[in-house]
Amino acid sequence: MNSAAGRAPTSADVARLARVSRSTVSLVVNDVPTARIPEATRERVLAAVRELGYAPDVSARRLRAGTSRLVLMPLPQIPLNPSIDTVIEHLSEKLRQSGLTLLVHGDRTTTGTSAARAWAELRPAAVLVPADRCTKSSVALLRRAGIEVLMISERPVPWTDALVFDQGRVGAEAAEHLLDVGHRHIAAIVPSGPLQGLGRDRAEGLRDTVHAAGARSEEIPMDATHDSAAAAAAAVRRPGGPTAVFTYNDEYGALLHRALDDMGAAMPDDVALVGADNLPIATFLRPALSSIALNPVEIADRMGAAISSLLERAGHTEPIEAGVLAPPVLMRRETS
């Protein structure tokens, strides 16, 4: 295992080997249409590129061009789930088709200006940042540095371009379904801890929809432990309790599912359950948990499109029509 060799091959190395100038190497490598290079020369250059394993240095390229083809995505502070995984996978592919490279920043904890500085150092063309990772001034810092910012937010943001993913729609979708099948008293689980904000958004969407239908709603706090789930199950099963529960997501749903089962409650006959995020676990429970799915492929498509239009508007000032992320859809299974 030798240590890595000192220095990457440069365009000068390629030029030397192909016995042309660095300019010619650049023209061939970038396939510049205006410069007509004889086929023989082009071949010589490409052969040299292959032989040396030459890959142009993005740093140097960016420095010269003043702009990069990198899109930086800091991770949200909440844990990754299969949906986010799918979003990353498809977004990366979509951006690649536009000649952009998606990089995910490993740091998960920094927020605000210090985070913005860490992102700005890389001079990406655009940053796709979850709302929980930035503030107004950190966005300002990025934009002053010529970096486009696209926020992923639960609600509209007046001070920057944002893709709005209304988490309330998730709860609302669950509510519509549960109302449809006849429930008139519906509870929403609200997790504690870092997920609370998200949980509250979903619960509020449910509440509004339930009230609009003239039915009754309530919120039940719970955290991700069996004990807390047992307490929540007891609250659900109290006399006069709700006949249906939206469980925030499928993991909380699984916990509550088990706690209700332990109490001898039948699903969906005694209590109906609807989770969210369409995690694999939902299909493994018995009875299988209905879930509000997030449609990650569609979400990735919209993100990719938004970033592309952001980067193409170049100097224009119209806000991009970022709009709302793909609406969630019900995966009806056995618990509802």
Partner DNA sequence: CTGTTAGCGCGTTCAA
Partner DNA sequence: TTGAACGCGCTAACAG
The contact set with DNA (CB under 7 A) reads 7-8, 10-12, 19-27, 29-30, 32, 35-38, 41-42, 54, 56-57, 60-61, 63-66
- Using CB distances below 5 to 8 A depending on partner kind, what does residue 24 bind out of DNA, its own copies, none? DNA
Q: In angstroms, what is the minimal distance from the CB of 4 to DNA? A: 14
SS3 288: coil
Minimum CB distance to its own copies, residue 240 (Å): 28
**Binding to its own copies in span 308-327, by CB under 8 A:** 313-317, 319-320
Q: How far is residue 118's CA from residue 129's CA, in Å, rounded to a whole number?
A: 13
Q: Which residues between 37 and 76 bind its own copies (CB under 8 A)?
A: 52-53, 55-60, 62-63, 66, 68, 73
> Is residue 119 exposed (0-12), middle (13-18) or buried (19+ Cβ within 10 Å)?
buried
Which residues are registered as beta bridge partners of 234? none
Among 95, 43, 64, 146, residue whose Cα is nearest residue 301? 95
95-103, 205-213, 263-271, 301-309 -> range binding its own copies (CB under 8 A):
95-103
Closest contact distance (angstroms) between CB of 28 and DNA is: 8
The Cα 305–Cα 182 span in angstroms is 39
Considering only residues 224 to 243 of the shown chain, the ones binding its own copies according to CB under 8 A are 226
Q: List binders of its own copies among 268-287 (CB under 8 A).
A: 280-281, 283-286
The residues in 107-136 that bind its own copies, with binding defined as CB under 8 A, are 107-109, 113, 116-118, 120-123
Q: How far is the CB of 235 from DNA (least distance, A)?
A: 57
Kindly state the smallest distance separating residue 147's Cβ from DNA, in Å: 13
Q: Largest Cα–Cα distance in the chain? A: 88
Nearer to DNA, 21 or 137 (CB): 21
Tell me the closest approach of the beta carbon of residue 319 to its own copies, in angstroms. 4
Q: How many CB atoms lie within 10 A of CB 317?
A: 5
Residues 112 and 138: their CA atoms lie apart, in Å, by 5
**Is residue 335 a contact residue for its own copies (CB under 8 A)?**
no
Minimum distance from residue 5 beta carbon to DNA (Å): 12
- Among residues 145, 215, 265, 297, the one that binds its own copies under rule CB under 8 A: 145
CA 26: distance to chain centroid? 36
194 touching its own copies, by CB under 8 A: no
Cα torsion 302, 96, 310, 168: sign: positive
Is 215 a binder of its own copies (CB under 8 A)? Answer: no
Question: Could you tell me where the DSSP H helices lie in the chain?
Answer: 11-18, 22-29, 39-52, 58-65, 82-97, 112-121, 136-144, 168-180, 196-212, 226-237, 250-262, 280-284, 296-312
> Binding segment for its own copies among 6-14, 29-37, 168-176, 199-207 (CB under 8 A)?
6-14
- Please work out, in degrees rounded to the nearest 5, the angle formed at the alpha carbon of residue 335 by the alpha carbons of 240 and 87: 120
